[in-house]
Every structure is written in C-alpha cells, then in structure tokens.
Structure 1
Amino acid sequence: MDRLKEDIKSLLSSYSEIFFIDSYRVGFILVLITFFNINLGLSGLIALFSAYTFAKFLRMEKEFISSGFYTYNPLLVGLSIGYLFKITPLTVFFTFASGILTFIFSIMLFSLFSYYLRLPILSIPFVVISSTIYLSVSNYSNLFVNSLYPHINFSFLENYLPIWMTGYFKSLGTILFLPDVMAGFIFSVIIFSVSRILFFLSLIGYYSGTLASGLLTGSLFQAFSDISHFNFILISMALGGIFLIPSVKSYMVALTGVITSTIVLSAIKTFWALYGIPAFTLPFNIITLTFIYVLGIVGFPYIARIIRKTPEETLDFYLTNLKRYKGSERTLHLPFSGKWTVYQGFDGKWTHKGGWKYAYDFVITDEKGNSFKNDGLNLEDYYAYRKPVLSPVRGRVVKVISDLPDNPIGQVDRENSWGNLVIIQDPRGFYVEISHLSYRSIKVKEGDWVEVGSYIGLCGNSGYSPQPHIHIQVQLSDNVGGYTVPFSFVDYICDGKFYSNDLPVENSVVEPVFPDKSLELKFSFVLDNSFEYQIFREGKEIGTTRFTVKMAPDGTFYFDSGRGKLYFGKYEGTFYFFRLDGDDEYLKLLFESLPKIPLAYRKGLRWEDHIPLRIVTDRLKNSLILFVSSFKHNFADVKYTGEFIDSRKIKGRVQSSVLKAEKEYYVELDEFLGFKSVKTEDVEMRLIKIEYK
C-alpha cells in the first residue's frame, strides 16, 4: 500500500512540475482541472502512466522518477495529443507509445545536457516529440477521420472581464492546453497560494512581454488575444524565481529575457506555421537555457545552486546559508597553539596586495598590544620568535627551504622574500605555503605526510620580514610565492566566541580549539538509532514523539519523524543541523534550539548562528517576509546565540528584528548520545529511551 501511495504521489508531482511547483497536492488539483476536457485529462494520464510504467520496467532508481521532474515531458505530450484527438482505442495506443518515446528522449537529453552543458532539459523533449507528432499525424488519415473533435470552453467569464485580464488567464491556462479563462483563473489562484514570488513573476512576465509585442505589432488587442504568450509567463518564472535566486537582479534578468523572447516567439510562429505546428514552449526553452548558460559562464552571483520546493524556500535557504557559512571550502586550521594576534589579513595595508592579497600574518602580543618586550631591538625580544608552527592542513610536503638566516631587527632579505618555508599539497586541490620560519628549525622534509597539528618548525624572521611572524597563504601551484586564492580558518576562539569557519579581523587575538572526544561521541549518531521523547506543554504531558536516524541517497544523515526530516552532520569540529524538510514542530524545536554546536567545550564559550525564517514563522508571515526580502536581501534575519553553561547544558537565544521577537532555549545533552532534554518557554521534550540497532 505504501508503494502504491508513493507511485501516485510521483505521478501527481509531474503535473505540478509544469508550473515549477514540487507538490503532489497541487498536482492532484491540476489533474482534476485537466478533466474540464475529458479527452485532455485522459490522454495526459495515459502518456504519464506509460512513461512511469516503462521507467519501472527498466528498474530505474526510485529517486530518479519520484519527483516528477523526468515524467512531466511525457505528460505534456499526452496533453498535446488529447487537445487534438478524442479518446479512442487508436489514440490510446498512439498516446501510450508517444509517452514512452518522450521519456526515452528525456533521459537521453538529460544525460547530454547535464554532462556537457550543465543545464536542465526543461520541456525540450515535449517540444521535439510534440512537433514530430503534429508532423506525423498528417499521414495518419484514420486519426483525422475518427478522432478530431470540437472544443468546448467556459467562455462566459470573457464577457465580464477586460481583454487585458482574459488574455492573462487564457495564456496561463494554455500551459496545460486549456486556453480558457476559468482554467487560467484557477491556475493563478494555485500559483498565488503556493508562491507569491511566482505569481508576481507570472504577472510581470505576461504583461511586459505582451505590451512589448503590442508595441511592435501596433495592436494591443491582437497581443492580448495571443495565447502563445504563456511563454512569457514561463520565462519570467524560470529566470526570476527558479534558476536564479529571487532578487531585484533576477527580476531584471527575467524582464530582459521576456522582452528578447518576443523576437524569438514571432520568428518561431512564422516558421512553424508553414508546417501547421504551434510554437509550443520552444521560445521559453531557447531563452531560458541561453540565459542560464551565459549567466553561468560570466559567474552571475545569484544562480541557484540548490533549488528548493518554492522560490521562497530557495531564497530562505540561500540567505540563511550565506550567513551561516561565511568561510570558504578551502579551510585551514590556525598554524599554532595558544593565543596569537592577527598582524595583517586579506588585502592588508603593507604587503598583502595584488596577486598576493589572500594571506594572513600572525604575531604574539602582550596585554598592552606590543609584540615585543624591552626595546624590541633583538630577535629574542619578540614573543613569537622560535615559537612552534603547526600544520594547518593534512597533506603532502612538496617544498622545503630551511637554510636562510633570521634577519636582525631592522633588516630584511629582499632577494629571498618568502624566507624559510614549507609548502603542503592539500588533497582537496590546493597548496598551503607557510613562510618566514626560523633558520634550520624545520623538522619535515619533502615527501613527508603531515596531519593537522603536526609540528613543522619554529617561527622566525627570515625573508622579507620586519619582525618574527607566521605568514600563511593558499595557492593553486607549488611554486614558491605563487598567486594566492581565498581561504578561511576553522575552529578558533576570539573574544570568548567560537568561530566555526570565518576570517578574523586585524588586531584580533585568536586561539585555536580542538575537538573534544567526549562531545564528538555524543553526536555520533548511527543509522537506525531511535530516540523517543515525552512532550510537555505548559508542564502537562501531551504525548510522545520518535526520531529515527536515516541516510539520504547523497550520504547525509537525518532524523526522520514520519512528518519531517532534519538533516545533520559534523564538519571541521562543529555539529550542524543543515536543513529541515517537512513541518514537524518537534524537529523544528530541535533545529531552532541548537542549529550548531562546537565539538569543543569551554565553560561560558559562546557562538552565533542563523536560522531559516520558515523555522520560526507561520506560512503566511514567512511568505510575505520573503517576498519583501527578494527586493532587499538583508530585510529579515533570525539570529541564534548559544552558550555552554557547563559541559552538558547549553543556553540558546533566538532573536529576530523583523518579527520583534526573542526566545530562550535550554538543551541538556545525554550522558552518552544525543539530547536528554530540549526546553523552551512552553514546550519541553524529555528523552525516554534510545533504541540501538
């Protein structure tokens, strides 16, 4: 029975995917609407069923076909056939075969587009196969004789609405081959209820494209009567809210795409008319794919790397992660132990310029901010001199220079600017250079493998160095002093605050921290572990909930409650809750009470994080705030502050300036694994038992 439910959800999702919506519930409504024309509705289902059945016959993975992304093209082809021909045994056979053909063609195109172009296939299979079908049926006289039928439209609304409104609704309805005001009106209500951003984009797409077309043709009435302008709606939604992060810039790109598509649409209609074929969605595919490809080449910053269920969710995910993960993927540990001071950072005021701007210098200072004692005239006066230098990464040592003398204070070696150094090749695809080490203090040799924290040598004053300090940079070659690239530091403390992945500012005092084994074990969740909690609301027990550890196809673990999935993982000494799918209120409570925790304990240690807006707001507020945020990305922020009370107790605070709200949370860790209790003002979860599998 569960298998049948999943199959039905997958089929329904194919309908919603046509409007860029991931919802089987919306898909169910769309199925019903297609039965405004029973031939249309049945043909769509037949083509979809044939494609889905064939996919299962080929034993394709469940995840590959369950979303509906790969089966909405056969659905569109079925609808296009149903729009032409009524249901007969002959058209059923024809539709069934066409559905399979479209699915096979979709898989082939997907493989080519994803590998060579890194582009989605959109509805290209539908355009190609439907055009082929429309050409082929001219030879199938039996279809024309027995299967053509007149269309009945619910046209009474057209008598009460102006042409500029009926044109929008009919164009919207045409997306599912229902060029009818009633169908289009229902579609608009569905889009508005799911996503205000998509609804807004549908409006600006249609009206900007139609007005541009009217100006070019000289007839606004003709422009508003052209139902092929549904292409403008699809282009606007795809560029403005699906494949780009919703923003003022994405809206401008969408507007530009729609305006330019008027030329493409006119040309295609003229050429296709020679063969009696409608334009279908060809203009939408050409413009959307061209823009996405070009924007990718030029490095447009608002390309959506991860697309969520709605543009609002994509925007929320993007904005939250932008704040949560400030650092880069080239992560380094600090190359020392104890407290050091940032002497110079990226694009520093002295030597970190041009191709060498991505570098950091560290010294040791006293309570007065001085890096030396006495008069600072001797090397031994400097606190950093001959202090241990540690490996910031794990990797292979590829270059060592160790026989250059330490410069006396007041002198520099201009010929050997980098001084004594070690270059380490990181397996992640970059090199780390650590420079200005002390004369013959380096204890590693070329070819050695080092781990994070391995002893390398001593801090010195060799090369172009005004005082003893550690210089560190990341580059893409093993050349001494190569051009630098951005990086960031992980697991350090500054002013009593823990930073998981960031860049300390100049003159700040930083100290590395290392994972606590006991804390790491508390967050080492094993597949199929189950955690059962009692739930109390305002002190009264109201029931229980259970979370089970599962693993996603990409290897990410998550807590599954049956009503939601909370994804988590450990990365570079920090435990994170990455994201929440679904609406389970107790998984939400877990997320907002502890979105991340350093796996290193110090009493009173604080840290900051950010929480997705959807976790702390209801759907209506979330939708409205994110719509405004699409115009001003810093409009809303939900900030989390955590603090260790002791080794097992954490106090958290969530604040939001837009919501004007503040909430406190208390989390107690279990002695062995996971969370013993999670408590807020009115709700508490208490661990009853853990089941190990």
Structure 2
Amino acid sequence: MLKDKWSRLVRSSALGSFIDALLRGFGQIVFCNNPLIGLIILIGFIDSPISGLLALLSSTIAILTAILTKTERYLIKSGLFGCSGALIGFVFAFYLPLNWQLIPALVLSGILSALLIKLLIRNLSIKVNLPVLSIPFVLVTWLGLLSLRHIPTSPTMLDNLPGFLISGQIEQLLAPLLPESISTIFHTISAIFFQYSVFIGMLCLLGLILHSRISTVFGIAGGVIGITLFSLFTPGGEYASKLTVGFNCALISIALGGFFITLTWQSTLYALFAVFTGGVVGMALVNLLGLVNIPALAASFNLVTLLFLFILGKAPSKISSVGLKLVPLAWVDKPETYSNWNLLVNMKRINQQVRLSLPFYGIWYVSRGNNRKPTHSGASAYAWDFIVLNERKKLFRGTGTDNKDYYSFGLPVLAPAPGKVAKVTDSAPDNTPPIANWEQSWGNYVIIDHGNDEFSEISHLKQHSIVVREGDEVDRGQLIGNCGNSGLSMASHIHYQLQKASSLGADSMPAKFHNYKIHKSFTKITVMEEGRPKEKELVSNSLSDGS
C-alpha cells in the first residue's frame, strides 16, 4: 500500500517525481533502482553529513540538468543522473578541502556528468547495447580533481562546525566493537561511496539485502576476493588502496553476477573470472594513477565490466550455447527478476491459440520491437510499433510537423483475427508532431477478445476513425479504424500487443503472426508461415496485400 501511495505521489507531483529520481540515484550506486534503498543509504550519511550534503547538491544539479535538457522521463527515473552526481559529491568531499571555491566546481561537474550521460546513452547504450555504468562520474571527477589540485587548503567551511555535522562519530563507537575482518568488509562496502564507515557499510548492506539477496552474496564475495588479492600481492599496501580494489571487485561481481547476465553456474564462473581480472586491473590502476596522484575511483569496475559484456555481445549465439546470455538493457532490474531469464524466455515460447495476421495492408516497418524501453517494457514488453517508410526510408514528407506529412497517417488498420470488440476509445485528439499526449497515453484504441483469454490491443488510432463498437463481432482483415497519432505518440504509427485481459494496459504476452513476408529488398522476400517480426524489419501481410 505504501508503494502504491508513493507511486501516486510521484505521478501527480513534480516535487515527488524529483525526490524519487534523487533517491533512486543513491540506490543505483549499488544497482538498486529503488527509492527506499536510496533512502536507507542516505540515512547512513548521518555519520558523514558533509559528504551527504555535497552528494545531494551534485545529484540535484545533475537531475535538473537532465530535466532542463528535456531528457526522457524514464531515463531520469532510472537513477543514472542522480547516481553520477552523488558520486561526484562524495569524491569532492573526500579528496578536496571544503572551501567555497569547491561549490561552483561541484555544480559544473554535476552539469557535465549529466550531459556526458546523455551522450553515452546515444553512442554506447543504443548503438552498442552496453550500459553507461559510472563512466561519466569517473571522467568528470578526474577532470575536476586535476583542475582543483591547487585549491587552497584553508580557510575551510569545516571551521567551527556544529557537533552534529562532524563526521565519524558513529564510526568511533562501532568500529572497536567488531573484529577487524568484519570491519574491513563493511569499510569495503562503504568505500563504494568513498567513505570508511562501518555504519554506512551496514546500511548499504541492509539495502542490498532488502533489494536483492543474490546481489548481496555476489557483492560480498567480490569484495572479499578483491581485498584478499590485494593483501596477497601487495602486503603492507595502503588500506585505502586495498578498499579501492575491494569495492571495484564487489561492483564487478554484482554487475556480472546476474544483473547484466542471466544467472547460471556458467555465468557465475564468468563473473568470478571477471572479479579476479578486476583485482589485477585494479591494483595496476591504483599504482599507475598513484604516480600522478590521481585516485583510481571506479575505473577498474567500468573497464572490466564493459570488456566482459562486450565480449559476450560480440557472439551472442555462441555464448548462449554455453549457458551465457546477456539480459537486454530494457529488462535490467535485479537478478531475482530474471535470475532464470533464459528459462523464462523459453517458457514463454509462443503458446497462443489465436492465429494472428498483421493488422494492415502493404509493407510496414517495425520501428520498435519487444522489450524496448520506455514504452515496450513491463506490462507492454511484448508489443510492436509499425510505421510506413518511403523508398528513402523516411517516415514523412515535408517538414514532418503535420500529421498529414506522415505516410502512415490515415491508412487502414485491420482486425488481426476474428473476435468480439471488448473496448473502444475514439475521442482522443491526434497530436501535433512531435508533441505527445502523456495524459491519454494509449490514445484511441480497440481491444478485441479472441477467446481463450487472448485479447488484441491496437492503439494510437486516428480520432473519430474507428468504425467498430463494443460488442461487435469482427472478422480477420476487417477494417476497424485508421492509423493516427493519438496518445503517447510523437509520430503516426500502430501499436499492437496481444494481452491476457480486456483491461487497458493489461499484461502483454509473447505472440507470433502467421503468413507474413519479410522484405529485405525488392527481390529478396522471405515468406513466414509464422514468426515474430523483429525490429527494423519491413513486413507485409501475405493475406491482405493481394498476394
């Protein structure tokens, strides 16, 4: 119930949405995209209040930059921007004297990190299918530390601080009560936030346990391996360097231990190999960057994690055969959600009863396939978007600021199979491109009941174009309306999903279409008896295009 109330607050209030993104940013530091976990972690900083305040400031700046630069809401909600900003604040508080000159630098760094995240999403996540991780934080922080290397050490804002703002008071109480080995583990976890605090480590570990037991086990194991490797190969090395290697290994272990890769015994071995690699790379970076007095931060975590994910992404079919399967970035949540993702996909092999035809005449382009954020995720994970392109692969003529410019606008939309019309909405206005209607996200739609708890949902239809009514019986290929640009749509297209109930936004289900063609060129056409259209394919309905 509390979760539902929070969700309603976030949806109805700009301030609630902002606080949600802020808290998710703190949680995302340890791969917990959850505001409650972020709050738990933030509470830990009563033992390091100045660091917490600077992290809040930098995180706020990064999120505001994302909002002002019109970043998609789901990306802001993902916690990426808040996470990077918070980490910058932690590092500045740890490595630099707290002078007033620090504040403008912190604000500028927050802005730069947000812009760099947007750049990397376009060029790394979308094009190469690799996560951004904390690359922006590392690069921007290195730049900031180099720029502020000669910042005056006095006077500082720490002079005459009230007692409750002094760091480490809880640490002084807790640390002597614990064995050194246990304290080191908590310090390793807290070092992720650039703190050496048993209390912060405890609360972070509590948050991890509440969010994901699997991530907790991998995180502790990775951290222990990291600090053990450091102790073996660098006896007498600095404690801070040991913790740096340890927390980088912990993050590698969490990332590859069921977060970005399906959890199997093979992927567990792969993650362990990556952790050992991360330990070696981490020690090398600590020593190398130490020569120029620059901290290694989370560099080895980013390098090793991206390298191991890139290797898997280069040969997905081969690695799948040996039990290694990347989780699509659109699915990334926590290991428990898809700990057996490969089995989940196999279990969801198409088991539909209804034989579906594509809901249009002619050749259409699959602009968005299954499991693609933001709109094809969660309940709508198994949806498709279809558009029409010209021979130059353009979806509109002219400027594209009028719906009539779009080749798909107004084209017939067909019933994909026989059934009874369950629900109809026809009154939503068509948007002026590229503006979308967030209030009526489904726009005009038709839901058809095919029996066997299978329902077709077809949305974003043209206003007042729907020619069927609730209760009507429809046949395969019967006209139901025209393609439009209503609802959460920036350009004319058809949204289709097969779902489990007649309610709007019900859980979608894996679906396949029958008797359609894939057009690879004018002469190279593949006829599919059944299949699932893939993103970027040109497809036509064999039964409805006159062939």
TM-score (norm 2): 0.61
**Matched residues in 2 for 1:557 and 1:199: separation?**
45
Aligned pair 1:33/2:44, yes or no?
yes
What is the correspondence of 1:13-412 to structure 2 with a 5 Å cutoff? 13-85=24-96, 89-141=100-152, 144-146=154-156, 152=168, 154-217=171-234, 226-299=243-316, 300-301=319-320, 302-305=325-328, 306-315=330-339, 319-326=343-350
- Secondary structure class of the residue paired with 1:83: helix
Q: Which residue of 2 aligns with 1:670?
A: none
What is the correspondence of 1:634-673 to structure 2 with a 5 Å cutoff? none
Q: CA deviation at 1:194?
A: 1.2
What is the correspondence of 1:474-553 to structure 2 with a 5 Å cutoff? 517-519=418-420, 521-522=421-422, 526=425, 551=441
**Matched residues in 2 for 1:37 and 1:162: separation?**
22
Q: Which amino acid aligns with 1:33?
A: G
**Matched residues in 2 for 1:148 and 1:258: separation?**
38
**Matched residues in 2 for 1:313 and 1:249: separation?**
19
Task: Tell me if structure 2 keeps the 8 A contact 1:16–1:23.
Answer: yes
1:575-617 CA-to-partner distances (Å, cap 9, x unmatched) read 74479xxxxxx999x86xx9799999xxxxxxxxxxxxxxxxx
Q: Which residue of 2 aligns with 1:346?
A: none
Q: Which amino acid aligns with 2:39?
A: F
Kindly tell me: are residues 7 and 226 of structure 1, through their superposed partners in 2, closer, same or farther at Cα, counting changes over 3 Å?
Answer: closer
Task: Tell me if structure 2 keeps the 8 A contact 1:527–1:550.
Answer: no
Q: Which amino acid aligns with 2:333?
A: K
Q: Which amino acid aligns with 1:100?
A: I
Task: Tell me if structure 2 keeps the 8 A contact 1:577–1:595.
Answer: yes
Q: CA deviation at 1:82?
A: 2.0
Task: Tell me if structure 2 keeps the 8 A contact 1:516–1:599.
Answer: no
Deviates more, 1:183-192 or 1:144-153: 144-153
Q: CA deviation at 1:67?
A: 2.3
Q: Which amino acid aligns with 1:310?
A: K
Q: Which amino acid aligns with 1:130?
A: T
What is the correspondence of 1:527-676 to structure 2 with a 5 Å cutoff? 551=441, 576-577=498-499
**Matched residues in 2 for 1:427 and 1:598: separation?**
16
1:61-83 CA-to-partner distances (Å, cap 9, x unmatched) read 33332222233112211121122
RMSD between aligned residues: 4.4
- Secondary structure class of the residue paired with 1:120: coil
Task: Tell me if structure 2 keeps the 8 A contact 1:168–1:224.
Answer: no
Q: CA deviation at 1:556?
A: 11
Deviates more, 1:143-152 or 1:73-82: 143-152
**Matched residues in 2 for 1:82 and 1:147: separation?**
11
Task: Tell me if structure 1 keeps the 8 A contact 2:348–2:510.
Answer: no
TM-score (norm 1): 0.49
Kindly tell me: are residues 151 and 315 of structure 1, through their superposed partners in 2, closer, same or farther at Cα, counting changes over 3 Å?
Answer: same
Q: CA deviation at 1:6?
A: 1.1
Structure number with the higher helix fraction is 2
**Matched residues in 2 for 1:5 and 1:81: separation?**
27
Task: Tell me if structure 1 keeps the 8 A contact 2:113–2:140.
Answer: yes
- Secondary structure class of the residue paired with 2:87: helix
**Matched residues in 1 for 2:186 and 2:336: separation?**
24
Task: Tell me if structure 1 keeps the 8 A contact 2:55–2:88.
Answer: yes
Task: Tell me if structure 2 keeps the 8 A contact 1:39–1:86.
Answer: no
Task: Tell me if structure 2 keeps the 8 A contact 1:527–1:551.
Answer: no
What is the correspondence of 1:415-494 to structure 2 with a 5 Å cutoff? none
Q: CA deviation at 1:557?
A: 11
Q: CA deviation at 1:53?
A: 2.0
**Matched residues in 2 for 1:177 and 1:206: separation?**
15
Kindly tell me: are residues 527 and 125 of structure 1, through their superposed partners in 2, closer, same or farther at Cα, counting changes over 3 Å?
Answer: farther
**Matched residues in 1 for 2:336 and 2:207: separation?**
15
**Matched residues in 1 for 2:365 and 2:18: separation?**
42
Q: CA deviation at 1:250?
A: 1.8
Q: Which residue of 1 aligns with 2:483?
A: none
**Matched residues in 1 for 2:426 and 2:214: separation?**
38
Kindly tell me: are residues 222 and 18 of structure 1, through their superposed partners in 2, closer, same or farther at Cα, counting changes over 3 Å?
Answer: closer
Using CA pairs below 8 Å that are at least 6 residues apart, which structure has the higher relative contact order?
Answer: 2
Q: Which amino acid aligns with 2:190?
A: G
Deviates more, 1:302-311 or 1:217-226: 217-226
Kindly tell me: are residues 279 and 148 of structure 1, through their superposed partners in 2, closer, same or farther at Cα, counting changes over 3 Å?
Answer: farther
1:291-325 CA-to-partner distances (Å, cap 9, x unmatched) read 00011112132100143432111336653332112
- Secondary structure class of the residue paired with 1:207: helix
**Matched residues in 1 for 2:427 and 2:349: separation?**
29
Q: Which residue of 1 aligns with 2:545?
A: none
Task: Tell me if structure 2 keeps the 8 A contact 1:167–1:227.
Answer: no
**Matched residues in 2 for 1:23 and 1:72: separation?**
12
Structure number with the higher strand fraction is 1
**Matched residues in 2 for 1:220 and 1:272: separation?**
15
Kindly tell me: are residues 552 and 33 of structure 1, through their superposed partners in 2, closer, same or farther at Cα, counting changes over 3 Å?
Answer: farther
Q: CA deviation at 1:210?
A: 2.8
Deviates more, 1:201-210 or 1:227-236: 201-210
**Matched residues in 2 for 1:252 and 1:3: separation?**
44
1:175-206 CA-to-partner distances (Å, cap 9, x unmatched) read 11221112111211111111111111112212
1:192-228 CA-to-partner distances (Å, cap 9, x unmatched) read 1111111111122122233333333357997995344
**Matched residues in 1 for 2:91 and 2:139: separation?**
12
Task: Tell me if structure 1 keeps the 8 A contact 2:224–2:246.
Answer: no
1:398-452 CA-to-partner distances (Å, cap 9, x unmatched) read xxxxxxxxxxxxxxxxxxxxxxxxxxx99789xxxxxxxxxxxxxxxxxxxxxxx
Kindly tell me: are residues 197 and 217 of structure 1, through their superposed partners in 2, closer, same or farther at Cα, counting changes over 3 Å?
Answer: same
Q: Determine what percentage of the aligned residue pairs are the same residue.
A: 23
**Matched residues in 1 for 2:511 and 2:120: separation?**
44
Task: Tell me if structure 2 keeps the 8 A contact 1:551–1:557.
Answer: no
Q: Which amino acid aligns with 1:211?
A: T
Counting matched residue pairs gives 390
Structure 2: which 5+ residue stretches go unaligned? 1-11, 160-165, 368-414, 429-438, 448-453, 459-475, 478-495, 515-547
Q: Which residue of 2 aligns with 1:457?
A: none
**Matched residues in 2 for 1:76 and 1:23: separation?**
17
**Matched residues in 2 for 1:597 and 1:117: separation?**
27
Aligned pair 1:12/2:16, yes or no?
no
1:626-647 CA-to-partner distances (Å, cap 9, x unmatched) read xxxxxxxxxxxxxxxxxxxxxx
Kindly tell me: are residues 179 and 569 of structure 1, through their superposed partners in 2, closer, same or farther at Cα, counting changes over 3 Å?
Answer: farther
Kindly tell me: are residues 576 and 94 of structure 1, through their superposed partners in 2, closer, same or farther at Cα, counting changes over 3 Å?
Answer: same
